[in-house]
Amino acid sequence: MMRGYKQTLLVLLLSILSGALDAQNNTNSPYTRYGYGQLMDQGSGNSKAMGGIAYGLRDKHQTNFVNPASYTALDSLTFIFDGGVSLQNTNFSDGTIKLNAKNSSFDYIAMQFRLGKWCAMSLGLLPYSNVGYNITDYQENKDNLASSSTVTYSGTGGLHQLYWGAGFKISKNFSIGANFSYLWGDITRTRTSQFPYDSSKYPWTEVTSASIKSYKIDFGAQYTHQFGKKHVGTLGVVFSPGHNLKNDSNIQTQLGNTTTGATTSYRDTVATFGIPLSLGAGVTYVYDNRLTVGLDVMLQKWSNVTYMNENNAFCDRSKIAIGAEYLPNEMSKNYLSLIRYRLGAYYSKPYYKINGVRAANEYGITVGFGLPLPRSRSLLSLSAQYVRTQGTESRFLNENTLRICVGVTFNERWFFKRKVN
């Protein structure tokens, strides 16, 4: 029976890895027309169910790749293999038109283990951003239909992050760590103008492509203090320096189509793309290893970033999140007492800017469970997230998303010597 559960977990994790390798667009949001698209809130299964808190989390049962200092929470005998996917349904509305879209996405895959008494390591693959949209704008001139036009905007792609990280225990209560990431991906944006009532005007298409290959570094620290026998507090911080990204960019324009004899021009362009300085901090409180509550704050200085040679292309991104987890009794024989019950909420200001103003605000509510597998230390994490993206002006889009996240944590004691009598 035990082997059956392990085989099931491995199948799920391999399915997640396969989905990661084949992952394409997992969003239909028109807001992804701007910048790098939708920035992913990175976090493992427990974090997603707790409003996204992570900076102060130290959990020896699950990975926390958001703060590499947390890697030292793992004991020396444990190997963790963790992965997650999401399914989502989004409703879009501009006050007049309502649309609906369904997507699936790869969330993360990671492994973590100890290298020594004072050091632990983690490897993983994460999405950094996603672009996926298709918008048609029909501009009708009733007095002169020949001048009416249809403009279609579409985009695909995104950035991916392959990381290697290490955490070091400086003292009993203080740990530091760093993640070194290879950041890469392609983003393609297309704009097409057509004139349905005037055959003498040829359609016109512009395709802007960017291929990015660069790096990203995250530094983390955590300080833990125990108050009495049952009370533990942890303060965590993460700092990521901003920098420009190495890229290859080009713009292709086409006048006409295959039936009219299209004229195509193609040129490389020297473009500057950047990622921002980012700072996050969080505090968690743990009571008797059963109740965990936490608070996170985060700021990313996107207003200082250059994108496609445009300065001040974005707004600063900020987020505040709260979350909690309750484990009734990990020694109980009652299965319901072994489940980890999780909930959280967050409020954020995305980095999208339209015509010089912030485009939207966002808030979310999360709830989930950590389901232990019988006779195993492994967990199945299930969570539901409701996310509301509210346009700051009536002309901007509103989005309502219901997202179901499934995570699998394969947690085994690998690094110990077996005794044979």
Look at the alpha carbons of 52, 55, 59, 63 in this order and tell me if their dihedral is positive or negative: positive
Higher pLDDT: 10 or 262? It is 262
The whole-angstrom separation of Cα 280 and Cα 240 is 9
Task: Identify the pLDDT of residue 78.
Answer: 82
Give the number of residues written for the chain. 421
Check pLDDT > 70 for residue 338: yes
- Nearest CA to 271 out of 322, 224, 212, 346 is that of 212
Span 229-245, pLDDT tens digits: 999 999 999 999 999 99
pLDDT in tens, 9-67: 555 555 555 554 454 456 788 899 999 999 998 899 999 999 999 999 998 888 899 99
pLDDT for 79-103, tens place per residue? 898 999 899 999 988 777 788 888 8
DSSP assignment of 218-259, as one string? EEEEEEEEEETTTEEEEEEEEEE--EEEPEEEEEEEEES-TT
Per-residue pLDDT band for 258 (boundaries 50, 70, 90) equals: low
- 85: Cα separation from own chain's centroid: 11
Q: Do 92 and 399 contact (CB within 8 A), yes or no?
A: yes
Span 110-162, pLDDT tens digits: 999 998 889 999 999 999 999 999 888 777 666 666 667 788 999 999 999 99
pLDDT for residue 344: 97
Distance of CA 379 to the CA centre of its chain: 21
pLDDT score of 2: 45
Question: Which is nearest to 277 in space by CA: 313, 307, 250, 316?
Answer: 316
178-201 average pLDDT score:
86
Domain-by-domain residue ranges, the chain? 2-413
Tell me the pLDDT tens digit for each residue of 299-317: 999 999 999 888 889 999 9
Note the CATH number of domain 2-413. Answer: 2.40.160.60
Annotate 112-166 with DSSP letters as a single string. EEEEETTEEEEEEEEEEEEEEEEEEEEE--TT-GGG-EEEEEEEEEEEEEEEEEE
Cα separation, 36 vs 159, in Å, equals 8
CA gap 55, 67 in Å, rounded = 6
- Could you tell me whether strands 231-240 and 263-269 are parallel, antiparallel, or unpaired per DSSP bridges? unpaired
For the chain, percent helix, then strand, then coil, each to nearest 5? 10, 60, 30
Asked whether the predicted pLDDT for residue 264 surpasses 80, the reply is no
CB count, 10 Å around CB of 331? Answer: 6
* Cβ 339 vs Cβ 371: under 8 Å: yes
Cβ distance 239 to 216 under 8 Å? no
- How distant is the alpha carbon of residue 313 from its chain centre? 21
pLDDT (tens digit, 9 = 90+) per residue, 342-372? 999 999 999 999 989 999 999 999 999 999 9
Q: What does the radius of gyration of the chain's CA atoms come to, in whole angstroms? A: 24
Q: What is the pLDDT of residue 92?
A: 87
